[in-house]
């Protein structure tokens, strides 16, 4: 039996290859050499939006509160050194005494504002305008009988301040006022039925004073 020749072998191979190509085209089967991989779509880039930085405004500094008005007494002289002024403060009220030690005097009273300012009024149109400074002194002025008297009254120390005594002596109504200064000086007037005159000295420790032969007690003045 003769073996097929090379020509027949080649022809058989071509026919087989043609058969396989026809079969792949019919079934849609891809050969390894014709395989194709689709690229996966790249993810869309993510846009990052920077959040605006919040601006924090500094809190305003609180306004300092005014100092609490202390209960205290103050005494001093007018700028022209002609008279003395004393002021007693308690519970937001004040009473003051202006005195030249001879014949001119006035009692005044009124409220003290939270900021330390005060406007005190007395008889015959007398007015005291003042400001309490750090609970240490009062700076102000007194308008009385057409005169204007600027003054400074320092906070009173023990024994100094404002004193008053009222009584009936030998049938006369007596009203005495005293201002005791820090250096020990005293200025006062005793009014006897509307007639003023210089007051005798008092004992600041006890308030004892003798008026027209009768012993009285002058007490510290509070509103």
pLDDT greater at residue 190 or residue 4: 190
Nearest Cα residue to 89 out of 99, 79, 75: 75
Whole-number Å distance between alpha carbons of 144 and 7: 152
Neighbours of 160 (CB within 10 A): 23
Helix (H) or strand (E) run with residue 84 in it: strand 84-90
44: CB partners within 8 A, 6+ apart: none
Strands 147-155 and 72-78: antiparallel
Whole-number Å distance between alpha carbons of 181 and 154: 9
pLDDT greater at residue 25 or residue 74: 74
Residue 29: its pLDDT value, please? 46
| Overall average pLDDT of the 161-183 stretch | 94
Asked if residue 86 lies in contact with residue 164, where contact means CB atoms within 8 angstroms, the answer is: no
Asked if residue 218 lies in contact with residue 176, where contact means CB atoms within 8 angstroms, the answer is: yes
Q: Which pTM value belongs to this model?
A: 0.70
Q: In this structure, what are the phi and psi dihedrals at residue 187, rounded to the nearest 5 degrees?
A: -130, 130
| Average pLDDT of every residue of the chain | 83
Residue 210: its pLDDT value, please? 95
Sign of CA dihedral 111, 139, 86, 204: positive
What pLDDT, in 10s, does the model give residues 26-36? 555 444 444 44
Whole-number Å distance between alpha carbons of 57 and 61: 12
Residue 73: its pLDDT value, please? 96
Q: Tell me which DSSP letter residue 26 carries.
A: H
What pLDDT, in 10s, does the model give residues 94-125? 999 999 999 999 999 999 999 999 999 998 89
Residue 135 has pLDDT above 60, yes or no: yes
Residue 68: its pLDDT value, please? 86
Nearest Cα residue to 84 out of 125, 128, 30: 128
Residue 49 has pLDDT above 80, yes or no: no
């Amino acid at each position: 039996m003769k073996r097929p020749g090379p020509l027949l072998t080649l022809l058989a191979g071509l026919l087989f290859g043609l058969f396989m190509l026809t079969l792949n085209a019919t079934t849609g089967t891809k050969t390894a050499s014709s395989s194709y991989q689709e690229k996966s779509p790249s993810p869309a880039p993510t846009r990052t939006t920077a959040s605006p930085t919040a601006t924090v405004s500094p809190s305003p500094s609180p306004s300092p509160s005014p100092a609490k008005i202390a209960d205290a007494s103050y005494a001093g002289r007018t700028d022209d050194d002609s008279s003395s002024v004393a002021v007693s403060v308690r519970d937001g009220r004040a009473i003051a005494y202006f005195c030249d030690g001879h014949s001119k005097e006035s009692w005044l009273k009124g409220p003290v504002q939270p900021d330390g300012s005060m406007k005190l009024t007395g008889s015959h149109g007398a007015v005291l305008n003042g400001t309490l400074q750090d609970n240490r002194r009062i700076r102000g002025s007194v308008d009385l009988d057409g005169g204007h008297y600027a003054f400074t009254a320092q906070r009173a120390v023990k024994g100094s301040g404002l004193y008053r005594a009222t009584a009936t002596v030998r049938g006369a109504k007596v009203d005495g006022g005293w201002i005791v200064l820090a250096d020990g000086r005293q200025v006062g007037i005793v009014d006897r039925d509307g007639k003023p005159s210089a007051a005798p000295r008092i004992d600041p420790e006890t308030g004892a004073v003798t008026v027209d032969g009768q012993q009285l007690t002058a007490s510290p003045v509070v509103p």
